[in-house]
């Protein structure tokens, strides 16, 4: 007689395996340990074979019967259910090995040493956040231009058009790597030229009027975050270096007695010298007892052997109520200094540009020299620090 759930559920184990048949070769085998295993007995090419269909009650009686019927349809067409299952598993393994995520991660790892660590992490984050959840599991040869466009439009719709174009470039590079390694036939990304409008050229948000700068500096004084982040906020307008250079600053590069900071500019691969006004030195001396035992002036909150997060300053600005897309960003302090130093304090542009570590050719075509205009730059940094103090006190 056909089995029932009650019969199977109440069946007790014995010293030997017990088989309870349902019909059509389907039975449940109860092991001495109490396990209840679905099996299908069938014959093909004159040989008797068994096919495992799962464990009861994870696979119900109804599901087991469905699996039996599917297997019998295969048999009716001359297909061995066991061999068919092996083929499906092999195909699944092959598809997972050729999945977009597997190949993309392989490509990112291969090229890890050719880019700066921050760029590698940023590219990986873009793929993990915006691409892998939708395309990662797909076999790379099955991904079409419309599939990629759907991903890019999702990014563009949230107002991140530049990121959408950058992501398209990353996807295309992953496809080219797959083509080179024999796992894809073509890159669908060239078919999408013009599908996402070009990103408008934009500058980092910056505050450039004395009144607004004064309000910003007073906001810094009232900041209630960590002392490390507050110190970074106070130094950012004083030094107006690139955000990555500030957050990765190492104590070994500072000479507080000489009031100098020397480091290699990652963007231009040039040595740079930042004269430190007494106001900057005072902030650093106050910070040193807290972080001076480690390599970084501004260590990470969780690991003192890593630099502060690249989002820390912008996050602090947002906590104080500033919009980092339209008002001020960590990079905006450079535009702030460049504008006010020239328009309000009448500093010569070439002195400002050298302090910004821009590659400014001289009259003879020479490249940037870290000691060029050093006397004028020291005077400028002191004038600038004094001017910021005056604004703060207004």
Q: How confident is the prediction along the chain (394 residues), in pLDDT tens digits per residue?
A: 789 999 999 999 999 999 999 999 999 999 999 999 999 999 988 899 999 999 999 999 999 999 999 999 988 888 889 888 877 776 666 566 788 999 999 999 998 887 667 778 888 999 999 999 999 888 898 899 999 999 999 998 888 888 888 899 999 999 999 999 998 999 999 999 889 887 654 556 788 889 999 999 999 998 888 999 999 999 999 999 999 999 999 999 999 999 999 998 877 778 899 999 999 999 999 999 999 999 999 999 888 899 999 889 989 988 888 878 778 888 889 989 999 999 999 998 889 988 998 765 554 444 456 668 899 999 999 999 999 999 998 8
User: Catalytic residue at 346?
Assistant: no
* Catalytic choice (92, 211, 267, 348): 267
Nearest to 183 by CA among 89, 106, 87: 106
State whether CATH 3.40.50.2000 applies to domain 210-393. no
Q: How confident is the model at residue 93, as a pLDDT? A: 60
The answer to whether 22 and 48 have CB atoms below 8 angstroms apart is: no
Which of the following is catalytic: 242, 338, 354, 377? 242
Q: Mark whether 56 is an active-site residue.
A: no
Q: Which candidate, 24, 20, 26, 17, places its Cα nearest to that of 8?
A: 20
334 a catalytic residue: yes
Record the pTM: 0.51
- CA 241 to the chain's CA centroid: 24
Residue extents of the structural domains in the chain:
5-91, 100-192, 210-393
Q: Does domain 5-91 have CATH number 3.30.160.390?
A: yes
Residue of 120, 358, 372, 378 marked active site: 358
Active site residue 242: yes
Count of CA atoms in the C-beta half-sphere (13 A) of 320: 24
358 is catalytic: yes
Q: Is 377 marked active-site? A: no
Catalytic residue among 36, 161, 331, 354: 331
Q: What is the CATH number of domain 100-192?
A: 1.10.150.130
The catalytically annotated residue of 39, 334, 338, 354 is 334
């Amino acid at each position: 007689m056909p089995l029932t759930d009650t019969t199977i559920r109440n069946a007790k184990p014995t010293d030997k395996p017990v088989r309870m048949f349902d019909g059509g070769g389907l039975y449940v085998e109860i092991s001495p340990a109490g396990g209840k295993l679905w099996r299908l007995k069938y014959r093909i090419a004159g040989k008797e074979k068994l096919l495992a269909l799962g464990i009861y009650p994870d696979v119900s009686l109804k599901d087991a019967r469905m699996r039996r019927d599917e297997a019998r349809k295969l048999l009716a067409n001359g297909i061995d259910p066991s061999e068919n299952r092996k083929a499906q598993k092999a195909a699944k393994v092959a598809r997972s090995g050729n999945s977009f995520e597997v190949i993309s991660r392989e490509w990112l790892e291969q090229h890890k040493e050719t880019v700066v660590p921050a760029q590698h992490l940023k590219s990986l984050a873009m793929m993990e956040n915006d691409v892998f959840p939708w395309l990662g599991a797909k076999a790379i040869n099955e991904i079409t231009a419309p599939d990629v466009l759907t991903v890019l439009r999702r990014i563009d719709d949230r107002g991140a058009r530049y990121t959408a174009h950058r992501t398209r470039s990353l996807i295309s590079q992953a496809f080219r790597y797959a083509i080179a390694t024999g796992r894809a036939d073509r890159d669908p990304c060239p078919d999408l030229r013009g599908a996402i409008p070009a990103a408008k050229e934009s500058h980092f948000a910056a505050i450039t009027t004395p009144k607004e700068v004064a309000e910003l500096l007073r906001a810094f004084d009232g900041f209630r975050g960590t002392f490390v982040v507050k110190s970074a906020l106070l130094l950012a307008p004083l030094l107006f270096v690139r955000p990555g250079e500030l957050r990765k600053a190492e104590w070994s590069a500072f000479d507080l007695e000489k009031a100098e900071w020397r480091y290699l500019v990652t963007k231009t691969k040039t040595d740079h010298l930042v004269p430190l006004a007494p106001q900057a030195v005072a902030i650093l001396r106050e910070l040193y007892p807290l972080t001076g035992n480690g390599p970084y002036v501004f260590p990470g909150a969780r690991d003192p052997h890593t630099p502060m997060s690249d989002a820390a300053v912008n996050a602090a600005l947002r906590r104080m109520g500033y919009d980092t897309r339209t008002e001020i960003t960590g990079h905006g302090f450079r535009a702030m200094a460049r504008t006010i130093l020239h328009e309000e304090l009448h500093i010569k542009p070439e002195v400002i540009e050298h302090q910004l570590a821009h590659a400014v050719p001289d009259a003879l075509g020479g490249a940037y020299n870290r000691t060029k205009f050093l006397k004028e730059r020291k005077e400028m940094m002191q004038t600038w620090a004094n001017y910021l103090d005056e604004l703060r006190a207004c």
